[in-house]
Amino acid sequence: MKKTSTRLADGRELIYYDLRDDSVRDAADRRPLDRTVTTSEIRRDPLLGDSVAIASHRQGRTYHPPADECPLCPSEGDRLSEIPDSAYDVVVFENRFPSLAGDSGRCEVVCFTSDHNASFADLTEEQAGLVLEAWTDRTSELSHLPSVEQVFCFENRGAEIGVTLGHPHGQIYAYPFTTPRTALMLRSAATHKEMTGGENLFDAVLERELADERVVLEGEHWVAFVPYAAHWPYEVHLYPKRRVPDLLALDEDARTEFPKVYLELLRRFDRIFGEGEPPTPYIAAWHQAPFGSLEEFDGVVREDFALHLELFTIRRTSGKLKFLAGSESGMNVFINDVPPERAAERLREVASS
């Protein structure tokens, strides 16, 4: 992998990740851009104890542009985009309309390929491996920023999810706090550790799932399963078999196998609902241990956390979506229409040819 860092016309950082060591990235951003102005602010909810990002400047962000005006495609002739070069492998750049900025953290965009009509599932194993390297590198770099406590790499895919740019891409949020979902996991891990005399909760969950009927696919170093209490109609958790707290700690064997397993999983997701169906909308979310202090979590350390990816779709059946209505949105109590065992069976049935 070759990494080249440069700056866009408004001062934002852009980084090329290339498969070839001889790639030259010296194209300048020719757009007449003013410096980016953000209004990000973190406010804490005194009743729930969680944090909300207030970012009014995002109202003006790019919204469903035509394909020939996509800001994530390479620049070509007089059509200038966020990527100054005429081609690229993987690109990461600071979001022009960030939810988090300055002392409130940082937001980045990850372009998986220059091919506008592709998807992550269309990547080769070599390309997917490069994306993994980019995620890992950005996790390392962002973790050293003084305002950052947790790094979250994710992909929103599909208009049903709310994606406003059709180009295959993901995002990275660097939060100035430990996110509520991660805090819940850490508290559960702390309670389990105390009640069992030191047993790791993530290890116990993985051991249970490996012995059950909800395993979807398994490699030498990774395993994917539908969790026992899945929240979403089709939800899969992907774990490395050797517990590590973050992407940085993955060994070479796990890195090498990841692209094959993950691409297989994504291709199965696209076939859940049968031939002729539109691509399956999904969210793919990496869960990593926070880089800040864990003192509030009663004896849990970073190494107790287990890196894993959660992949789920909001489509519950052909042509129908799972909406987060009263119980889910009002009380955070999910109601799942698809038994996890049936979801796992369906994901085992579909081939990814």
- The mean pLDDT of the chain is 95
Burial class (CB in 10 A: 0-12, 13-18, 19+), 195: exposed
Residue 221 falls in the annotated catalytic set: no
Pairwise CA distance, residues 331 & 111, whole Å: 35
Mean pLDDT within 283-298:
94
Q: Is 314 left (phi over 0), alpha (psi -120 to 50) or beta?
A: alpha
Q: Give me the half-sphere count of Cα atoms (radius 13 Å) on the Cβ side of residue 179.
A: 15
* The pLDDT of residue 197 is above 60: yes
pLDDT value at residue 64: 77
Helices 125-143, 252-269: crossing angle, 10 deg rounding? 120
Please give the residue that has the higher pLDDT: either 65 or 25.
Answer: 25
**DSSP three-state, residue 11:** coil
Half-sphere exposure of 226 (CA within 13 A, CB side): 24
Half-sphere exposure of 154 (CA within 13 A, CB side): 18
The average pLDDT across 73-96 equals: 96
Question: Torsions phi, psi of 326, nearest 5?
Answer: -55, -55
Coil, helix or strand at residue 261: helix
Q: Which long-range contacts (CB under 8 A, 24 or more apart) does 321-329 make?
A: 321/160, 322/232, 322/233
pLDDT of residue 104: 93
Average confidence (pLDDT) over 303-324: 96
Share of residues in the chain with pLDDT > 70 (%): 99
In this prediction, residue 67 carries a pLDDT of: 78
Q: Does residue 188 carry a pLDDT above 80? A: yes
Backbone angles phi, psi at 236, to 5 degrees: -130, 135
Residue 72 predicted with pLDDT over 70: yes
- Per-residue pLDDT, averaged over 99-111, amounts to 95
Give the 3-state secondary structure of residue 349.
helix
Q: In what order do the strands lie in the sheet with 222-225?
A: 2-7, 13-18, 90-94, 106-111, 169-175, 150-157, 282-287, 308-313, 234-240, 222-225, 215-218
Asked whether the predicted pLDDT for residue 2 surpasses 80, the reply is: yes
**What's the pLDDT score for residue 352?**
58
pLDDT value of residue 353: 54
**What SS3 class is residue 318?**
coil
Confidence at residue 338, expressed as pLDDT on a 0 to 100 scale: 97
* List 57, 144, 167, 169, catalytic entry: 169
Segment among 35-49, 56-70, 73-87, 102-116 with least mean pLDDT: 56-70
| Residue range 27-47, pLDDT digits in tens | 999 999 988 778 889 999 999
At residue 39, the pLDDT reads: 81
pTM: 0.96
Whether the predicted pLDDT of 208 surpasses 90: yes
